[in-house]
Amino acid sequence: MDIEKMNMTIEKIKTYKAMIDVNFDEIKNTFKNINYYYKTSNSDSLNDLQEQLTNKFRTIQNIHENDLDYLIKKIETYKETSHKVTQIFKDIN
Amino acid sequence: MYLGKLGDKMEIQLDKIETENNKLKKILDDFQTNYLNIYNELESISFIWQGNESNEFNQKISVDKVKLENTYGELKEIDNIYNYLINENQGIGKNIFFDFNKKSKIEDLFNQIATSIADIVDYYDILDTSFCPVEASIINSEKQKLELIEKDLMNIKKDLKNTLDKIEKNENMVSEKTSSIDIEIIKEEQGE
């Protein structure tokens, strides 16, 4: 594992994740604005769809968070293992 | 075609919807760029970290990417609905406000007025004006004006009916398109 590259990749993912979170807030606001200007018997159905998508996106955000946590944990585990192996070789020598 | 019952009052501020929809398109483009960037980075991890766990992670990422692509697809479907209602209602007007509960009442009103005019014209026809040629000429002129008014009224009624029918058709299509969207439910997998 190339830890430096992993850390850089994780930072990039965090940046894009923050951007996608902003995008989705903007999408929600735009839907809300459109709903204000479009009031017919179809409004409720459209609201329901938007609500479902909002809930779905929250799940996606959690998935991304878990992915990041997992990678960070893997780096920590790798570092620990690497340190232990280095120590063992030092002790042998 | 699905023909659901149209609700009561309707308000469609088309110019404002169009402004917001244009913003939505730009945001959706950014959203797509950003989620593709996320997955490009996640997929690049396979070059930085090798092993069985890395392979399992990559498989999971492939599955998650499809979920997000589907979500983007669902967002685009809603965007398409807004495109449809903007395009189809553009010829009607920038702002549409109507209470469909009053539709039949308005049609009845037109018919009543037309009937009243026709009755008046009939009365004019049975008037004996043989002894007053000047007045007869005036009455005849007024009768012709009324006949023109009746004709215009019926044309306005026809145009109004066509416009309301078009609005109803558009709304029924929006209803059909909305019903056809099936948002895929995704579950968060439990972590380690």
Q: Which residue among B4, B48, B85 places its CB closest to the CB of A2?
A: B48
pLDDT at B3 over 50: no
Is the pTM above the cut of 0.90? no
Note the ipTM here.
0.87
Q: What is the DSSP-derived secondary structure letter of residue B92?
A: T
Q: Among B189, B73, B68, B79, which residue's Cα sits nearest to residue A17?
A: B68
pLDDT value for B81:
95
> Is B35 an 8 Å CB contact of chain A?
yes
Residues B146 and B120: beta-carbon distance below 8 Å: yes
Q: Do A27 and B191 touch (CB under 8 A)?
A: no
Q: Per-domain residue ranges for chain B?
A: 11-97, 98-192
pLDDT digits (tens, 9 = 90+) for B129-164: 889 999 999 999 999 999 999 999 999 999 999 999
User: Is residue A39 classed as helix, strand or coil in its secondary structure?
Assistant: strand
Q: Give me the half-sphere count of Cα atoms (radius 13 Å) on the Cβ side of residue B175.
A: 17
- Alpha-helical runs (H) found in chain A: 3-37, 43-92
- B7 pLDDT tier (thresholds 50, 70, 90): low
Q: Which residue among B48, B50, B171 places its CB closest to the CB of A40?
A: B171
pLDDT digits (tens, 9 = 90+) for A9-54: 889 999 999 999 999 999 999 999 999 999 999 999 999 999 999 8
> Is B84 an 8 Å CB contact of chain A?
no
pLDDT value for A4:
85
DSSP string, B28-51: HHHHHHHHHHHHHHHHHHHHH--S
- The CA-atom distances, in angstroms, between B151 and each of B105, B115, B145 are 20, 12, 10
Give chain A's domain count. 1
Weakest-pLDDT range from A34-43, B2-11, B75-84: B2-11
Q: How far apart are CA A45 and CA A79, in angstroms?
A: 51
| Minimal C-alpha gap between B86 and chain A (Å) | 11
First-to-last alpha carbon distance for chain A, in angstroms, is 25
Q: Which CATH number goes with the domain that contains A38? A: 1.10.287
- Counting residues of chain A whose pLDDT is more than 90, the rounded percentage is 48
